[in-house]
Amino acid sequence: MSKLSVITHEAFARHPVPMGHPERPDRIRHVWQALDEDFADLDRHQAPEASAEAIARVHGEYYLDLIAEQEPQEGMISLDPDTHMGKGTLEASRRAAGGAVLAVDQVMTGQAERVFLAARPPGHHAEPHKPMGFCLFSSAAIAAQHARAVHGLTRVAVVDFDVHHGNGTQAAFWDDGDLTFASSHQMPLFPGTGSMTETGCGNIHNAPMRAGDDGAAVIAAWQDYLIPKVKAAKPELIILSAGFDAHEADPLASLNLRAEDFATLTTMIRQLAEDIAEGRLVSLLEGGYDLAALKASVTAHLNALR
């Protein structure tokens, strides 16, 4: 069995965004460079398109139909001021969700212990009935529901160290006590959610950080607060929304993490999975908008997962 595998697809570079948009195709190309340069030995798989059934477990059939109907045959439309759709967007978004589903299948069937999905667009801002924040489908939530519906799990946790709060995952999990969401993020910052008072049914755990906080502060929040909360929930699978925009070089936020801090956080979360979830860990690429910082952070992340 391969301990770590990678899932990606060339379609992720074909999702168009307007000139100057931070969530641009060069992001995934820099991740691919990191994979080719340092991780060519890892098993690599093609992300399939998620089934309508898998997506509908989170978003409902109406939402999926609504998104599909809006895809333009040429040019680009805006779903909100940040979220855009061109001819390649629906395929890329379906494959991002499908890659997350395949990652769950791999860890649940023993093909791998850990999986990294290198995909775009990201997913953790997409709410059950609303695309937003560059995201169309909530891949982490879709993966969690797939693990329950297809593999018979009861308890799943999504942990999220993206600098922006994963409001979409939180919304999808809000009233389901068997689904745990734990997040560190800068606040105040887009999307404006993520206070410690947002607790769902006791299954939501937010650790808002202040602008200027460094890696030590974020690591302490995980060590002292978030990891104990997740451990207490006893998830059978851990899904990581791995955004790297808390890096000190990132243009969209003001936390001051470095690549080695992401390695430390990843090691902590990997150990958590080994302690309580039979090592099952699925990592999904979310944000990260400085290209050099993204590449360095993904490299550190994968070295910690390997």
User: What digits encode the pLDDT tens for the residues 266-282?
Assistant: 999 999 999 999 999 99
Lowest mean pLDDT among 1-5, 247-251, 268-272: 1-5
For residue 25, report the phi and psi dihedrals to the nearest 5 degrees: -60, -30
The yes-or-no answer on residue 125 being catalytic is yes
pLDDT(283) > 90: yes
CA atoms within 13 A on the CB side of 169: 33
Q: Confidence band (pLDDT; 50, 70, 90) for 110?
A: very high
pLDDT mean over 107-120: 98
Contact 180, 157 (CB under 8 A): yes
Q: Which long-range contacts (CB under 8 A, 24 or more apart) does 41-44 make?
A: 42/2, 42/4, 42/5, 42/6, 42/302, 42/306, 43/2, 43/5, 43/6, 43/112, 44/5, 44/6, 44/7, 44/8
Contact 181, 170 (CB under 8 A): yes
pLDDT mean over 1-21: 94
Length of the chain: 306
In whole angstroms, what is the distance from residue 157 CA to residue 128 CA? 18
pLDDT of residue 1: 56
pLDDT of residue 188: 97
Q: What domains are defined for the chain?
A: 2-305 (3.40.800.20)
pLDDT(2) > 90: no
Whether pTM > 0.85 for this model: the answer is yes
- Least Cα distance to 164 among 143, 134, 203, 140 occurs for 134
Mean pLDDT across the chain, nearest whole number?
Answer: 97
pLDDT(250) > 80: yes
Q: Confidence band (pLDDT; 50, 70, 90) for 136?
A: very high
For residue 177, report the phi and psi dihedrals to the nearest 5 degrees: -65, -15
Catalytic member of 9, 15, 125, 146: 125
